[in-house]
Homo-oligomer: A and B are copies of this chain.
Amino acid sequence: MDFLVKFQQYSDKVEKWLQDNLQFDLNCLERTVYESMKYSLTAGGKRLRPVLSLAVCDMLNLDEEKVLPFACAIELIHTYSLIHDDLPCMDNSDFRRGKPTNHKVFGEAMAVLAGDGLLNLAFEIMLNESIKEENNSLYCARAAKLIADASGTKGMIGGQVIDIEAVGKKITYDELCQMHKKKTGALIKASILMPARLFNVPDEITESLEIYAESLGLAFQIKDDILDVEGNSQIVGKPVGTDEKNDKSTFVTLLGLNKAKALLKESTQRAADSLKNIDNSGFLTEMACWIAERNK
């Protein structure tokens, strides 16, 4: 089946789960926070992370219904991180995916609270699964802990800290890699490993998934940096050229465009190679190419 059709099928499942399970009460006194959460949750994200989870689930022939709540919890965490990263005190971004950012619509206070609410809700969802799946509580907790470690200060939050502290400073290539490994890599990796953790699959499969995840995360970030130089802001959905303008260290500014492109090719290849010994890995292999070739 065509890669993009399959991608759409997975992301439709994510949309449906979110729609069916997150029916926010808009008749309460705190309704604005729900409107604000919903605004960012439905602002046209690619659903890359939960799609990765569902694709791994498919490849390993695991129970999709059990993976979906955790996959959607990851999307909630990703969404909250975008809301907080866009705040005036952080990246001060006015647009995201071609739409005004959350605080531009709902104000800063509500944006902080909507972010907090989405992070908290992700854990409510995962803990709820752990309770529903009485005989599988331990594995649900292990999957949720994997995600929590990836989203916390040892992962995504730590990466954002390194990023904001690097503004206006020159950082080394090693520091840049460490920053991205945490800021975007950790949650992408958790999306890929989560189904394996939830179903306790054999170590050799988990190890292949780890190599895939790390290579994919790196490729994703290099491509992001390249898009900021070569992309079309209309298609990307946000201004381009901002990294150079903000004197930000990126793979392109540190390595130059050509070397960055070579490293992108190399990581994409490593991602594809890592799954060679696993059956039904076609979609995830194509995903690596798609990430390297995307124009937004």
A92 to chain B, nearest CB (A): 10
Q: Which residues of B contact A149 (CB under 8 A)?
A: 124
Partner of A121, one of B87, B130, B153: B153
* Copies of this protein in the complex: 2
Please tell me the size bucket of the interface on A: 35 or more
Q: Does A29 contact B (CB under 8 A)?
A: yes
Main secondary structure of the interface of A (DSSP, over half): helix
**Is B148 a contact partner of A179 (Cβ separation < 8 A)?**
no
Which of the 9-residue segments A3-11, A61-69, A102-110, A218-226 touches chain B? A102-110
Contact A89 B109 (CB under 8 A): yes
Q: 17 other contacts beyond A120-B157, A134-B138, with CB at 8 A cut-off?
A: A29-B175, A29-B179, A32-B165, A33-B158, A34-B153, A87-B109, A89-B112, A110-B161, A113-B160, A113-B164, A117-B153, A120-B148, A120-B151, A130-B138, A130-B145, A137-B137, A140-B141
Interface residues of A (CB under 8 A from B): 28-30, 32-34, 37, 84, 87, 89-90, 107-110, 112-113, 115-117, 119-121, 123-124, 127-128, 130-131, 134, 137-138, 140-142, 144-145, 148-149, 151-153, 157-162, 164-165, 175, 178-179, 182
